[in-house]
Amino acid sequence: MAPVIKPEPGSSKARARTSKARAVESEEEQDTPDAGPSPSENPKARKRARVGPADAGEEHEQHRGDEEEDKKPLRNGVKFEKTSETDDAGYVVGSIVRIKCQAFVTYDSVEFRPGPALNMILGPNGTGKSTIACAIAIGLGFPAKVLGRASKLSEFCKKDSSKDTWIEIELKAPRGSRNLVIRRYLSRTDERSSFQINGSETTAKEVNERMSNLGVQIGNLCTFLPQDRVAAFSQMSSVELLRETEKAAGDDQLSDWHDLLVEEYANQKKLLSEVDRHGEVLKRKESKQAENEKEVRQFEERERVEQELVVISLLLQYAHYNDTYSQWGQVKENRNQAEGELAELIEQNRPFKDSQEALMSAVAEYGKLGEMAQTKKRKLEKKIKDSMGLVDKAAKTLVKTKEELDNLRADDRTRKSTIIRTEKDINKIERELEKPEETVDFSEIDAKLIEKRNEINEIKDRAAQADAPKEDFERQVHQCDREIALQDKKLKNLNNIKNQREEALRKYEPDTWKAVEWLRTTQHKFKGKVYEPPRLTLFIKHGHEQHANLIEEPIALHVFKNFLFEEREDYDYFMREVNDKVQANGTRIQANGQEIGKDYTRERYPAQFNKEQLAEMGFDAFTTDLLEGPEAVLTWLSKDLGYGSIPLQLTKRDVNYDASRKYQCRKWVTQEGSFTITHSRYGRKESQIEQRSLGTAKVLIGASDVSGVQEITARTADATSRRDEAVRSLAKINAKLADLDRQRHTLDEEKKALQGQKTKMEDKKKQRAKLVAKREVLVSQLKREKAKPTSEQKRAQLRGRMSEQIEKHLAAVSKHNMWTTKLVSSQVAAAGLAIRQMQVDNDLKAMNDSANAQDVALTEKRQEVDELKARVKELYRSAKAMHAAADRDLEAASEDIKLAVDEARQQGQIETEQLMTRHAEAEAKLNVTVAISPEIVKRYKEGKAEVERLRSTLEGSQASLATSTERLQAVHGVWLPALEELVERICTGFRAAFDNLGLLGEIRLAKDDDYAKWGIEILVSFRDNEPLKVLTAHRQSGGERALTTVMYLMSLAELAKAPFALVDEINQGMDQRVERNVHNALVRTTSKPDVGQYFLLTPKLLPDLQYHPTMKVLVINSGPWLPPTGQLSLAKIVKDRRRRIANRSL
C-alpha cells in the first residue's frame, strides 16, 4: 500500500494581486552551524515526512477559496541593495542556511540545509514540497496570505499532532557575525504567534525590520512564487509587474524614484488644476468688479447729493427760526398797543357798570327766596303723599276684614261636610273589619317554587359539567396557536439561510448574482427549465448538517456558480444577453452555464457504485445522496461532474482497499480527508495515494430548506389539525351550553310567574292591616275638625277688629287734609314773590340793552388783545422748538455736515426762499439718481480684497507648478535611463530564452503620461506566423503562461536584489520538451556565480535532466513509517545502482 501523508490545509483560489509584505533583519549574531543534518526528534513518529540531503516535496491541492485578497505594496523607505558578499561556501548574506519545522502541515519533524545556489526539491504530489515554501514565508514573519492558500495561521498546524508547531530558519550573516536564527511559534486555537531571534523573545515588528534590511522579498511574485500564486503572476497588470520588477531588480532607487514621479505627477496635475481654477476664478472676479465699479460711482454721487440735501435742510431750519423770531417781536409790539386802548375803553364805561351790578344783586336775592319757596313746597307735597298712603292702607285693611266676615258662612258649611264624610268612611271601614278574616294557604305554591328551583339547579349542574372540558380545549387551541407560530418562525429562519446565501453570492460573486437577478426577471422568455446556480438550490438533508465538510469536500467551488439549461436555445440566448453584452459601466458579466437536456434523473443515470458495493468498500453514501434540490441539478453533479463516483464515509472505519481496486474507485472522502489514487505517467506507472485534509464548508452550511420545510409543514399541519378538532369540540360545548341556557331561561320565567301569584296572595293578607291603619288616621282627622272654634265666636272677633280699623282710617284722612291746607298757603306766598322778581329782571334787561351799544368797541378790543396774546405765545413756542430741533439735528449730523453748516452760517444769513430753491433742486437731482444698495459697495470692497488674494494665490500655485515640473524632469532624467537599461537587460535574457525554445518573446516598457500607469508588458508568440501578443490571464493556455512566467523570472535572476528566490512547481501544463528545456535553462542561469540562492520545487517527472555541481537536490521521502535516521542513505542507493549498471555492462 502506498504511504499516506497528512495533507496541507486547503488553499484559497482567490485571484490575488501582488503584494509587498514587509521583511526583517537581525541585530543578534550566531556562529554558523555545521553542515551535517540533525537527527529527527522522534524517529518512530507515525506518518511523518523527513527531508534528507537529496529530497523535498509538496502536495497537489485544489483551490478552495472564493474571496480575493488585495495586496498593496508597503513602502518602508529602505533602499534594497543586492548582497554580493559571500562566504567560503558561496552563501550570500541573507540566504537560507537551515530550515527546521515541527508539527507543521505535513511534517511531524524535519530539518535540512539548502545549498547556496540552486536547490531542487523533489517529491511526489502531496508529500510536502509546497510546505517548504509555506515554512519559509511564515517562518520569516510574512502573513499567510502571500502564499495564496489558507489565510489563517492555525490551519498550518499539523492536524493529528499534539506537539507545539514552530518553524526555525537560519539566515546567513555577514562575515564575522553570527547567523540569524528566527523561530516562529504558531497557535492551534487562534491566530496568535510568537517569535525568537537567536533564542531570545522578540516582536513581529523586529523580525519585519530585519527581513527588510536583508532585502528578503517574499511578498514579491518576481522573487517568491508559491504554487498557489503561479496563476496570479500572469494575472498581474503591467503596472503591478513593473512595480514588482523595480523592487526585485535594477537600481536600488528605481522604486523610490518611481514613487516620487507618481506622487509628483499627481501633485503636478493637482497644481495645474489649481492654476486653471484660480485663473478662471480671478478672471470672473475681475469682470464682476468692473461691473460693480459703475454702481459704486453712482452710489458715491448719490451720497454727495444726499449730504448736500441734509446741509440745506439744516440751514432751512435755522432760516425758519429767524423768520419766526422776527414775527414774534412784531406781534409782541402789537399786543402792547392793543392792551392800552382796551384800558381807555373800560374807564369810559364804568357808570353803567355800577347800575348793572346793583340790579344784578337784586335779581340774585329774589332768586334765593324763590328757591326757598320751592323747597318748602316739595316738603309739603311729600308729607301729603305719605299721609295719602296711610289712608289707602287703612282702607284696604278694613275691606279685608269685611271679606273675612262675609266668608264665615261658607267655612261653616265646609266643616260640617268634612265631619259627615269622615264619619261615613270610618263606619265603612268598621263594617269591613267586622267580616271574618280569610285564610291563605302558601304550601301548594311554595312546593311549586321549590320544584322550579330544583329544575333550575339541575340545569346549572348540567351546564357546569358541559363547561368543565371547555378550558382544556381552549388551552389546547392556545398551545396549537403557539406551535404554529413557532413553526412559522422556524420556516422564516430557513428562508433566512437562503437569503444569507444570496447575500454571499452578491458579495463574493457579483457577476453570478447579476445573472441570477436578470434570470428572475426574464424567466418567462425561456422555453425550457433554467436552474439557478447550485449555491442557491442545493441544501444538506436534515440530520446530516454535521457532515457539511465531508459533503462539500469533493465539489469544486466554481461548480456552485453554474446555470443549467434544458434547451440549447435557452443557453445561447442566456450567453448572448448576459456574457456578450457590454454593461452600462463598460464591463461585461462573466457567468458560467451548461446545457443538460431534459429527463435528467439519477434513475436514468445511476451512480458508479450501488449500495452493496459501497458497503463492501467501507463507505456510506455519495455526495448527491445527502443533498436536496432539483433532481436535474443533482443528476448533473453525479453524471457530468463525476461526483456519483466519489463515495463518502460518514462513520469512521477502515477502508477496504482491495474492494476499492476491484471496483476501480479512485477517489473517496472520509473524516481524515480526501484520498486520490494516481498513477505515474512515466516508467512503471506505479500508483500512489494522495491525501488532503478536509477543508471547511463554505457554501453548503446551514439547515436543509427542503426536508426542514417538509418537517415544519408537517408539524404545522398537525398543530392545525389538533387546533381544528379542539375548535369543533368547543363549538359542540357552546351549542349544548346555549340549549341549557334556553331551558334555564324558560324555568326562570315560570318561577317568576309563581312568585307573582304568591305576592298577590300575600297582598290580600296585608289588606286588613292597611284598613286598620286607615281607620286610625280618619278618627284622628275627625277629632281635629270637631275641635275647631264655632262661626259665632269668630264673627265677634272680626267685628271688634273692624271697629279699630275704622278709627285708624279716619285719623289718617284728617292728617292728610291738614298738610293739604298748608301747601295751598305756601303756594299763594310764592306767587307774590315771583311777580316782584319779574319786575327786577325787566329793569336789568332794560339797563343791559342801553349799555350794549357802548360795549361793542370794548368787546372787539378785548378780543383783539386775546388773539394777540395767543399769537405771541404760539410764535415763542414755535421759535424755541425750531431752534432746539435745528441744534439737535446738527449735533446728530456728521462732522462734514457740521463744518458745511457752520461755514454757510458764518458767510451770512441766507434767505429762506433761496434755500428752498436749492433744496428743491437737490431733491430733483436725488430723484433722478438710482438708489444703490450699500451691500453692493460692501461687496465691491470685499471683492477688491478677494481679487488681490486670488492674484497672490495664483502666483503661488504657478510658482509651485514650476518647481514641481522642474523636480519631475530631474527625477525623470535619472529614472528613465536606469529603467530602460533594466528592461533592456531583462528583455535580452527573455528573448534569448525564448529563442532557445524556438519561440518569440519580448519585454516592452508601456509608457503613459501618468507615471502611475507605466508598466511592463510581456509579449509572446507560441505558434508559427503568429504575431507577438501581450501575456494575459485568459489569452494563453496554462502551460504557456507557466513557461512565460519562469522565463521572466530567469531573466530577473542575474539582476535580483533579494538574497534568495523560490519557484514552486512552475512546470505544470508544459509538454516534456519544453519542460526539459526550461529546466536546463534554469540550471544554467542559477548556476552562474553572480546569481544568489534559488529554490525550485518540482515533482521531477522527466529523467536525464541537466545537472550542475553547484546544485543541491533535496528529495522528500514520505510514508506512514520511515527507517531511523542513518539507516537510509540515498547516496548509497545511487552508488549501488550505478555499480549494478556498470556490472551489467561488463
Coil, strand or helix: which one is 355? helix
Type of residue numbered 403? E
DSSP 414-445: HHHHHHHHHHHHHHHHHHHHHSPPPP---HHH
- Reported confidence tier of residue 534, pLDDT bands at 50, 70, 90: very high
Helix (H, G, I), strand (E, B) or coil at 1017: strand
Instruction: Please state, rounded to an integer, the average pLDDT across all residues of the chain.
Output: 79
Residue 831 has pLDDT above 50, yes or no: yes
**Whether the predicted pLDDT of 1048 surpasses 80:** yes
Q: What is the pLDDT of residue 380?
A: 80
Which range has the worst mean pLDDT, 47-51, 678-682, 898-902?
47-51
Nearest-angstrom CA–CA distance, 888 and 313: 13
Phi, psi of 9 (to 5 degrees): -65, 155
Q: What is the DSSP letter of 575?
A: I
pLDDT above 70 covers a percentage of the chain that reads 86
Out of 493-497, 680-684, 917-921, pick the least confident: 680-684
Q: What average pLDDT does this structure show over 265-281?
A: 88
Euclidean distance between CA atoms 489 and 496, whole angstroms? 10
Is the alpha carbon torsion for 163, 166, 169, 170 positive or negative?
Answer: negative
Percent of the chain scoring above 90 in pLDDT? 16
pLDDT at 679: 67
Query: How far is residue 993's CA from residue 594's CA, in Å, rounded to a whole number?
Result: 41
Q: What pLDDT sits at residue 258? A: 93
Could you report the per-residue pLDDT of 686-733, keeping only the tens digit for each? 667 777 888 888 888 754 455 667 778 888 889 899 989 989 988 888
pLDDT interval class at 128 (50, 70, 90): confident
> Highest-confidence range of 18-22, 38-42, 262-266, 845-849, by mean pLDDT?
262-266
**pLDDT at 907 (0 to 100):** 78
Quickly state the pLDDT bin for 138 (edges 50, 70, 90): very high
Among 44-53, 284-293, 729-738, whose mean pLDDT is lowest? 44-53
Q: Would you state the pLDDT for residue 789?
A: 65
Region 73-97: mean pLDDT is 63
**Residue 536 backbone phi and psi in degrees, to 5:** -100, -10
**Bridge partner residues of 647 (DSSP):** 622
What pLDDT, on the 0 to 100 scale, is given for residue 112? 92
Q: What are the tens digits of pLDDT across the range 582-603?
A: 776 667 788 888 888 888 888 8
Q: pLDDT for 436-473, tens place per residue? A: 766 666 778 778 888 888 888 888 888 888 888 888 88
Q: Edge-to-edge strand order for the sheet containing 193-197?
A: 107-112, 96-104, 165-171, 180-186, 193-197, 200-202
Element (H, E) at 762: helix 707-787
Of the pLDDT bands very low, low, confident and very high (cuts 50, 70, 90), residue 13 is very low
**Residue matched to cell numbers 509587498:** 20
Instruction: Give the cell for residue 123.
Output: 517529491
**pLDDT in the model for residue 56:** 31
| pLDDT number for residue 775 | 78
Higher pLDDT, 96 or 1121: 96
Quick one: pLDDT band at residue 33, thresholds 50, 70, 90?
very low
* pLDDT at residue 680, as a whole number: 57
Q: Return the number of other C-beta atoms located less than 10 Å from residue 690's C-beta.
A: 22
Q: pLDDT for 1055-1073, tens place per residue?
A: 888 899 999 887 776 778 8
pTM greater than 0.85 (yes/no): no
Lowest mean pLDDT among 111-120, 491-500, 1028-1037: 491-500
Amino acid at 47: K
Q: Judge whether 41 and 109 are in contact, CB under 8 Å.
A: yes
Q: For 994, list phi and psi in degrees, rounded to 5.
A: -70, -35
SS3 assignment, position 280: helix
Give CA–CA dist 869/863, Å, rounded: 10
φ, ψ of residue 807 to 5 degrees: the values are: -60, -45
Query: d(Cα 1059, Cα 1056) in Å, to the nearest integer?
Result: 8
Query: Between residues 16 and 111, which one has the greater pLDDT?
Result: 111
DSSP secondary structure string, 677-688? EEE-SSTT--EE
Phi-psi group of 952: left, alpha or beta (phi > 0 → left; psi -120 to 50 → alpha; rest → beta): alpha
Please tell me whether residue 521 adopts helix, strand or coil conformation.
Answer: helix
Separation between Cα atoms, residue 57 and residue 127, nearest integer Å: 5
Q: For residue 897, give Cα distances in angstroms to 305, 450, 910.
A: 12, 121, 17
The mean pLDDT value for 894-914 works out to 79
SS3 labels along 209-230: HHHHHHCCCCCCCCCEECHHHH
- pLDDT average, residue stretch 408-433: 80
pLDDT at site 72: 34
Q: What's the residue count for the chain?
A: 1146
pLDDT beyond 60 at 736: yes
Which residue in 460, 453, 473 sits closest to 740, CA to CA? 460
290 vs 952, more confident = 952
Confidence of residue 931 (pLDDT cuts 50, 70, 90): low
1070: helix, strand or coil: coil
